[in-house]
Chain A
Amino acid sequence: MSSPHLIKSVLRSNNVNVTKSNFDEDYVFPREQLPKVMEDDSKTPLVLIACGSYSPITYLHLRMFEMAQDHFREKKEFELIAGYYSPVSDGYGKEGLAEAKHRVKICQLAVESTSNWLMVDSWESRQEQYQRTAVVLDHFDHELNDIGGGIKTSTGERKKIRIMLLAGGDLIASFGHPGVWTPKDVSFYGEKKRL
């Protein structure tokens, strides 16, 4: 992603008059691949969120989660329990973006036919306006921990699920582009590790 494109997108998103994409179903936060109980109580439960255009989703996007899974298996701190794709809304106005409902559908086809731990959340894509990534992660925190109550351990105790952003080097590089990310949002991420 080049810096001028990003700046243009962000500036444009405030003015774009986008009709909400007509999804075939009502919105429901996906939980079908979320385990009810942790396997290893000594670890911190973790969910990874991959924000992006996914226009279209590719095998590389799917590999990202596999590589992350290998990584966390090696380390002993986190138990990676699930992964979500959060396709960006049409309000982002980026060049090459197919309609949100199509991008969500192809992500769903990809994860349903090839995976048993990945899901697609369409909340972000259903918003008329572009949602800052910080806000999207807050939404996941709310759904997984406030509404969902985190995850149970084998003793019945509830643990809060840690949420991290999964990204390619291009998205992280954009953190350095002036005007694209607000300092408040970036420092928020400073606490969250990147892979």
Chain B
Amino acid sequence: MLSILFCFQKREKKGDDSKTPLVLVACGSFSPITYLHLRMFEMAQDHFKERNEYELLAGYYSPVSDAYMKEGLAQAKHRVTMCTLAVNTTSDWLMVDSWEPRQGSYQRTAVVLDHFDHELNIAGGGIRTKSGEQRKIKIMLLAGGDLIASFGHPGVWAPKDLHHIVGHYGCVIIERTGTDVYGFLLSHDILYQHRMNVTVIKQLIHNDISSTKVRLFIKRDMSIKYLSPNPVIDYIHENKLYKAKPDPL
């Protein structure tokens, strides 16, 4: 059912040769994917359209592997399917890559970004410009303020990885309602060092749909309509995901 091929379909010529081609990768649990996850990419698109440096070509969701063992994680195949339903029914520039969840063990984000770099630039040869030249695609991590805040938790991220993710690639951070991203950037040595590679996007319409709350609503038989696309909601109900575990008799 799930294609093993890396599904990069957008190999058309770039629109504007003066800009650097860019692809954003959103790593996360997506358990389940919500409209806020989808909005993140839209906000990023608006941001880059305003500026003249990058041409945003495409976006990918990379759902984390089950080996991450976080509470609330539905099976990887379900999370990948829900993400796929979401992007296929609502978008024409977003895709889902299932490489990360297909790995037997948890893959560090730095390694996931290397995988995208390999697929897009080495295996894929980058993208062709109007003049026929092949250009390397810049890859950046797209994240919410919570993921970035986790950079500050001791022992969670190896400094080498942070340098690789922020220094070599780059980060686009969507400011989560109620968090102080700028303050955090100032205080974190590695992020501050690579601050030129960090883009912070402010949410102008506050949207704080949380997957954790969505799972809770499902468990309590409450409506999650309009928090996720309908096909995702239907899939959740058909597969009885996130329901309360029956009491052991």
Show the binding face of A for B, using Cβ within 8 Å.
59-60, 62-63, 66-67, 69-70, 114-115
Contacts and interface: CB of A to CB of B under 8 A. Distances in A.
B223 A67 contact: yes
Contacts of B35: 59
Contacts of A70: 222-223
A62 B223 contact: no
Interface of B: 35, 222-223, 225-227, 230
A108 to B, nearest CB: 16
A88 B226 CA distance: 23
B226 A63 contact: yes
A62 B228 CA distance: 13
B230 A69 contact: no
Interface secondary structure of B, over-half rule: loop
A96 to B, nearest CB: 15
A70 B226 CA distance: 14
Given A59-B35, A69-B223, 14 more contacts: A59-B226, A60-B226, A62-B226, A63-B225, A63-B226, A63-B227, A66-B223, A66-B225, A66-B226, A67-B223, A70-B223, A114-B225, A114-B226, A115-B225
Contacts of A115: 225
A74 to B, nearest CB: 9
A67 to B, nearest CB: 7
10 pairs of A and B residues whose beta carbons are closest in the complex? A66-B223, A59-B226, A70-B222, A62-B226, A63-B226, A66-B225, A70-B223, A69-B223, A114-B230, A66-B226
Contacts of B225: 62-63, 66, 114-115
Nearest to B222: A70
A112 to B, nearest CB: 13
